[in-house]
Structure 1
């Protein structure tokens, strides 16, 4: 059964056999001469009309997708009028930006800055801190609808851009509709996209980066032209926006980066005819547009972050004391006091918050594992206030009585000191004896004052090395100065192990000498001066110090990655990546149990399972094609094969790069981490359906490319199946119908705007692992 377009072409060919007359104007209106048309002119006109009709269909579908996308994202945006799930965090961060108070978060600042800007433009001053899920927005005077409108806007633009990606990649109208519909009618995308969260910015930046790269790739035969430069630059810009929103944006860098590397490898081939100089021009263009400039944009958002957050806030404790000194009103720096020799102090480990402690009890001889201790006085870490935490700072050359010349003299960076334990009248020391838990670390103990002044003198000397070691004469302050204590004789650093010691040490922490003196876990601070009565009690207003941007940036990056890796505790709604593939778990975002309303983050089950099946099918097809080709069996025409590997497999690898890395992560993971992979999977579904049904593509991969022998004048493979279009149409209509039905079926838990009976909630619990919140009795 021929399609309408084929019938029209045949009709045009029949008409073209008959001569036609066209009137051509000349200078004189009376002088009219007949002119015969070209035999192919009518066929060309029909072809042009078909292209125009096809273009109109694409435009109409694009407009429809866009309108529906805005409707689904903005529908009842004011509901619920309460704080929902992670709005607790990102709404709070927007408030801190508006207050200028320093906070700490695991994600880069770009998307959070945009939320704060929208809130500022809406007239919000940041007075409310989004304290609890379920807090009423109106009661707290928050323009939440306006703030939610920003992520809703970005989320609404994602399906249209997906449509454009498929169109520019050479797929037909049905494939474009399928891919965009899987995102348009996905419940998880809608839920995440209409709340005060970061995922809308992430996904919008991701699809824009892919779209710009596709446009750039299509211009590869006209390099260094203005459009070529423009699309390359915007690819880098949106890649920067992606990774500046969340670090999972790095996976988008990998996806596009792999394609760029393959393209450069192709250009390096001598058969391309490029000179080495011309190749390096290609390389440098991509380096600057895809790496250098994106990195500058990435740094810019951190620069803005530091310049806005200048006041002490809840994020202070995550940062070093040196960093905290750059914040105004910081309580640590405001209450810090300069340290003098002979002050009695408490010393706190910054990693465990344990105080350096000692008591008369001795180390057991031997330990439970048979190793031998010195049997000396125990030195431990104790996390509570106690008089046995008191130590006097003595000069290295101290002998009883105090040296008059050292009274009221500040302790300075790089000084050698002794620490005298006030409670037991002994001096701190370490020696070449293994510690209780670490055979390679040294035991800390104390010795009598007489031994300290005599044969053990060298064992009791420690050097104070501040974290900011640029000035050897810089005085130390309580609370504000972090330092490591390096033993003079054996060159080990005092360290506190977070693992409690056995009962013989009252479950206190082990203090030992670590040989690695470069690790970040060996820093201590002088927490307080005991019994201070002199003029140092008068506090002067501290002026915030300056710290170079690079130093602040690097410290924040290290802290972000360290804290990210520490997120290993159990969370009731965390899940494994293997669960995402089949949508095994969801997340309870918000609930009003008395009304049987809730928002439960759950993808469109049918859509997710179709993507899962398509990913597995593509894996099989690609593997089979490679294996059969090695045996000389060609299953795909060359043009279709090229398109499959350059486009379809690009979507496939984008999915892989956004999914598989989560399997090696040890931190808490949640369902929304799968959304970028789901988006890539949606692109793959449209491409795969067209390949499976028709084995053809709408147009050559790039404009200006000569049409190969196995492709007709429309860019279709000559192996085009007779009923392929009909099969694809049926598959598309069936898929869209099921996906829309499923979307509307689960819509009450997407929008949280409808009360359902117990029976209605039960019917929506397709898997036992989905945990809905509703009252069992009506």
Structure 2
């Protein structure tokens, strides 16, 4: 017994034995058990299991790091291979140059993305002197590669955003990886991110909007907490940024808006919620999702105006008073302040995006067939008019004492280049048939009272004395003395025979607040009058902000297909989800590095098919629910609602408007909608594989991973650059519209 105790004590001391009760032995009797030493194979297995467990525990760090590294590689590898201005780099590179030279320009897109392009040029040491002509080779002193890398970083950061968004939508891990891989290996996303364009920034802020919305939604059970408030404000900030890059961002705003309306409606129906708490929910959302985005959007324009302090090519889109405050402008420069008979001047329409009253020797092809009157944004001598007495008064005498022009005066306006009178009559306007036509007729001696116009002052930024109209500061209307109609230049463009210039008519309805009937004197010449300084009056920011946004909207709506020209790059929206067509981004000769804008076939066709499958699923479950089947838990319904329905709504909001738009459309307009289709595809795969055995799940996902990556690699040349004869990629031309190779 003593020997047994000694043995047991020794084993216990070394920690190499365990005690166990042995059946059939007296109570309290234990025998030592010496563990077996594992062999090398078991040790290796243990190490592997430990490694896998570690990778599993830290997947939330390791996976996004790997995906992000791959994202930066695919978006930036060989990014400087093509040394020529490619596709829309001709536009957005030029806009970046204007910021560096601080010249005012006009474009249909908000300024944030273009300011970031300008910032990339500044960081690259670019001075803004290059013209960015399409197809032209970049000069050695312009580090275009740096500018492309700067822009591509936004595209690369979309990949980790996709990863974390999928996690916030509560997809299982293989689905999160699939969604991230589909964004990473989407060829069109890779290609569009590798140039000096706005699309990578648009996609980045679209991704941040969805991510911040998902984060905020997941805080719904802890309202008014710091995290809840933070993600609400981040959603508003992201909405403001995406709308400040392109107006397509408004569709993402609509998605968050619909979610907010539903959320508040549900809270409104909760009778147990105190009214003060409900009011607080409404107030927080008004501040976070309306006021904050609007402030961000307006701030981008404030910076835009602050930077672009010099006169530039976009001046004519702005009000005369705004132009007069630009450095180097000719508007208002040394112009006499007060207008007199005999003065030569240009008349600016004060409507949003309004042009200068214009005439040229061409005549109307129908109607009166007299000389055309239009509104024109570009400055030339055909915009000049003389202020002359009406026909009931003596002819203008240059030697007579000065007679100033004021409110209520009846005048004639004589076109300086042709000597004809601004005229109207009871002939329908060429496009707006409800208005009267305005033409140029007669000369300084030949004419009638239909050449008479009465000045009606609306406002004056310089004085309350309307007895004299002033350069830039006086807003006035021109009323036809015989017909009682008002000179108006709206947003209607004439056909090609009118050079697409703005139709100018005499509107019969008297609407004093219609700014398209308001005019001011922009430039003024009169040797008998001393030079003034009308530019000392500042144009209010809010007025300039509204003016520029309406001008952008008007110009954007005017981007309609020209039936007289064939646009080989344009495409119809129905072609996009089917991947029916691609887009050549540059010249297709053998010496040029060629890029073809086309998506990964599996990503496109799979995501498009998933939309149809989802609609069928929704119909199926609704019918089953109506028939009394209770097969889904509330957790499943919630997941179906927020992780399935909302991505589909996002796709609808970003895609369907293009079907109704009259403007010209291109394949890249589909890219924000594609992201929501990818999320829908992830939902479908996640939903139908969740109940499968783990081994079957991983087998299916492995096949999908391999297919997505394999097709991306197969089509890699269209993204990274095709060198040499294009016929070597003819095997990739699966469809007729994929013109990466000539037949």
TM-score, length-scaled by structure 2: 0.80
Alpha-carbon distance change, 648 to 310 in structure 1, aligned in 2, over 3 angstroms: same
Q: Which position in structure 1 is the counterpart of 2:308?
A: 309
Q: CA deviation at 1:163?
A: 0.8
Instruction: Say whether residues 1:726 and 2:719 are aligned partners.
Output: no
Match of residue 684 from structure 1: 680
Q: Deviations over 1:205-257 (max 9, x none)?
A: 12122222222211211111111111111111111111111111111111122
Task: Please show how residues 359-374 of structure 1 align to structure 2 within 5 Å.
Answer: none
- Indicate the residue corresponding to 1:26 in structure 2: none
Stretch of structure 1 that moved more, 121-130 or 243-252: 121-130
- Who is 2:84 aligned against? 82
Q: Which moved more, 1:642-651 or 1:487-496?
A: 487-496
Q: CA deviation at 1:305?
A: 0.3
- Looking at structure 1, the residues matched to 314 and 419 of structure 2 have their Cα atoms a distance apart, in angstroms, of 39
Residue 527 of structure 1: how far off its partner (Å): 8.8
SS at match of 2:224: coil
Cα 1:403–1:318, aligned 2, differ >3 Å: closer, same or farther? Answer: closer
- How many angstroms does 1:739 deviate by? 1.5
SS at match of 1:81: coil
Equivalent residue runs for 1:5-44 within 5 Å: none
1:767 aligns to what? Answer: 735
CA distance in 2: counterparts of 1:276 and 1:287, whole angstroms? 16
5 Å-filtered alignment, 1:403-418, equals: 407-412=401-406, 415-418=409-412
Find the counterpart in structure 1 of residue 36 from structure 2.
Answer: none
Query: CA 1:231–1:337 in 2, change beyond 3 Å: closer, same or farther?
Result: same
Taking a change above 3 Å as real, the CA distance of residues 744 and 511 of structure 1, as seen in their structure-2 partners, is closer
Residues 67-216 of structure 1: matches in 2 within 5 Å?
67-130=69-132, 132-139=133-140, 141-216=141-216
Residues 81 and 477 of structure 1, relative CA distance in 2, 3 Å threshold? farther
Q: Counterpart of 2:65? A: 63
Give unpaired runs (5+ residues) of structure 1: 1-17, 22-47, 695-719
Any stretches of 5+ residues in structure 2 without a counterpart?
1-17, 22-49
1:126, 1:214 → 2: CA distance?
A: 40
Matches of 1:247 and 1:91 in 2, distance apart? 19
Q: How does 1:496-645 map to 2 (within 5 A)?
A: 513-516=506-509, 518=511, 519=514, 521-522=516-517, 534-535=527-528, 543=535, 545-570=537-562, 571-591=567-587, 593-595=589-591, 597-645=593-641
Q: Is residue 354–residue 382 contact of structure 1 (8 Å, CA) maintained in 2?
A: yes
Partners of 2:706 and 2:580 lie apart in 1 by 23
Q: Is 1:750 matched up with 2:742?
A: no
Report the CA distance between 1:614 and its aligned residue.
0.6
Show the counterpart of 1:325: 324
Deviations 1:274-304 (A, max 9, x none): 1111111111111111111121111111100
CA distance 1:118–1:378, change in 2 (3 Å): closer
The answer for the alignment partner of 2:225 in structure 1 is 225
CA contact (8 A) 2:339 2:471 kept: no
Post-superposition offset of 1:523 = 6.0
Native 8 Å contact 2:348 2:522 kept in 1: no
Q: What are the superposed Cα offsets for residues 176-211 of structure 1, whole Å, 9 maximum, x if unpaired?
A: 011111110011111111211111112111212222
Contact 2:337/2:531 (<8 A) preserved: no
SS of 1:590's partner is coil
Q: Normalising by the residue count of structure 1, what TM-score does the alignment of the two structures yield?
A: 0.77
Residues in 2 aligned to 1:210 and 1:608: alpha-carbon distance in whole angstroms: 20
Deviation of the 1:115 alpha carbon: 2.2
Q: Is the 8 A contact 1:355 1:389 kept in 2?
A: yes
Q: 1:217 to 1:403 in 2, by over 3 A?
A: same
Decide whether aligned partners of structure 1 residues 388 and 202 sit closer, same or farther in structure 2, where only a CA change above 3 A counts: closer
- Once the two structures are superposed, the pairs formed by residues 258-273 of structure 1 within 5 Å of their partners are 258-270=258-270, 273=272
- SS of the equivalent of 2:596 reads strand
Q: How many residues align?
A: 680
Q: In structure 1, what is the Cα distance between the partners aligned to 2:266 and 2:503? A: 59
Seen in structure 2, the aligned counterparts of structure 1 residues 736 and 527 have a Cα distance that, compared at 3 Å, is same
Range with bigger deviation, 383-392 or 179-188: 383-392
Q: Relative to structure 1, is the Cα distance of residues 601 and 422 closer, same or farther in structure 2, using a 3 angstrom cutoff?
A: closer
Alpha-carbon distance between aligned partners in 2 of 1:383 and 1:285, rounded to the nearest angstrom: 46
The separation in 2 between residues aligned to 1:265 and 1:309, in whole angstroms, is 44
